[in-house]
A and B are shown apart, each in its own frame.
Chain A
């Protein structure tokens, strides 16, 4: 049932994993009935990994993500990060949504600094870091612009900066590039990999794009339709940095096929 058999390429895991999810379940109540949304999901990951949760729309993968951030309580099972059991929001988590979700009344810089402000760490150092990461995503000249003056892709880059400003140990991304056009999306994929390299953050990435999941990830967890059950786990051992060429590697196509089969899109 649980799909976390170790791939031999991972090598032996001597120390406990950075994060693990053990048999988590989520049921929703509606009108006296209970609906299972997530069923017996288990997987684990190492520090600095990028894990994609891949599945059809509305399958419950977002719920898994929210449970991992302590934003939604689970109905059963265990979530552990760095040895701590997660059941409520905790410091050190960054979130990115499908929509940029910026505050229209704040400038780009002020949006990025929002987490630092709330955490009471909005000092010169935070400001310097904000400049650095805005520079990294190519928005340093837009610091004083308002969100509505930016394109969707630019806004999402600001949202990315906001999510990493407080150096979270884990970054939760809920279909962050799903609303963008294909070209912007490819660009954002590379940007995300760059940011991860620089920050060393562990990333959990929800998507319904097979190629995006494989391109970005160390590990892809494939979910079935609702209720979400893990139907396949892929370890993507293409070395980083990845590039456009990566997409044309034979393994890449093979993983796409395997994920397609697991999702019931491709028949064997």
Chain B
């Protein structure tokens, strides 16, 4: 009982403390609104610009979701191939790792040329930035299947497909989800980078526009909506995890 209260109470209290410090810092130090608006000014801007924030937020949300979905749809099969084909692993895994040393922002202009200023280039950017953890974590999960379970499968003469779908894939599910949780937050970053480089819609674009007009409250309002968006998307992945892995709950019948 008191545990569930403290689960909400402490994070909220922590956030409240930061917001208060922010507020009094701005008020007492007489910081200009352009440099740093107060939390209340940001809130007011959010209310005033509710419609545009929702519309642009929706655009960004779609980019994130599609980019994230793409990183799963492509990342998981890559991991499967890498895990089961040693040749493919040796040929492409070093390249895959090397590709991660490229700063993703540097790729954005290229993606813009390839896919234009529409949603496709944002989606591509979100994918480029988010798919790697999916590949790595899925591969780790697939490799860490219990050897005893694999032996059981052999003793029952399971086919390769049976072994994969009935044992290895479900075994890897927790790892796939930990990759997915990282990927979904990265997909938000990817979408915003995409919007920064070339776009006329989305929260990233709104933020840049507000910035150039020295409309700091709107910049901070956009940022806030972005972070809420990130949290909602993360929460949805956690929810999906709970629904797909009901066995991992914390019910306990032991006595």
Contact = CB atoms under 8 A, between A and B. Distances in A.
Interface of A: 66, 69-71, 89-91, 93-95, 97, 99, 101, 103-106, 114-115, 117-119, 142, 145-151, 166, 172
Contacts of B158: 118
A67 B244 CA distance: 38
Contacts of A166: 156
Interface of B: 146, 148-149, 151-158, 162, 166-167, 170-171, 173, 245-248, 251-254
Q: Would you call the interface of chain B mostly helix, strand, loop, or mixed?
A: helix
Nearest to A145: B253
Contact of A71 (B154, B167, B252): B154
B247 A95 contact: no
B92 to A, nearest CB: 29
A94 B170 CA distance: 22
B155 A149 contact: no
A105 B148 contact: no
B152 A105 contact: no
B148 A150 contact: no
Contact of A95 (B152, B166, B170, B245): B152
B155 A99 contact: no
> Which of B149, B246, B253 counts the most chain A CB atoms within 10 A?
B253
A149 B249 CA distance: 10
B173 A89 contact: no
A176 to B, nearest CB: 12
A103 B254 contact: no
Contacts of B152: 95, 97, 101
Q: Would you call the interface of chain A mostly helix, strand, loop, or mixed?
A: loop
B253 A150 contact: yes
B156 A119 contact: yes
B186 to A, nearest CB: 27
A69 B155 contact: yes
The 8 closest A-B pairs by CB, nearest first: A101-B148, A146-B247, A149-B253, A97-B148, A105-B170, A118-B156, A95-B155, A105-B247
A151 B247 CA distance: 15
B172 to A, nearest CB: 11
Contact of B254 (A104, A117, A151): A151
14 contacts: A91-B157, A93-B155, A94-B155, A95-B155, A97-B148, A101-B148, A104-B247, A104-B248, A119-B156, A146-B247, A146-B251, A147-B247, A149-B254, A172-B155
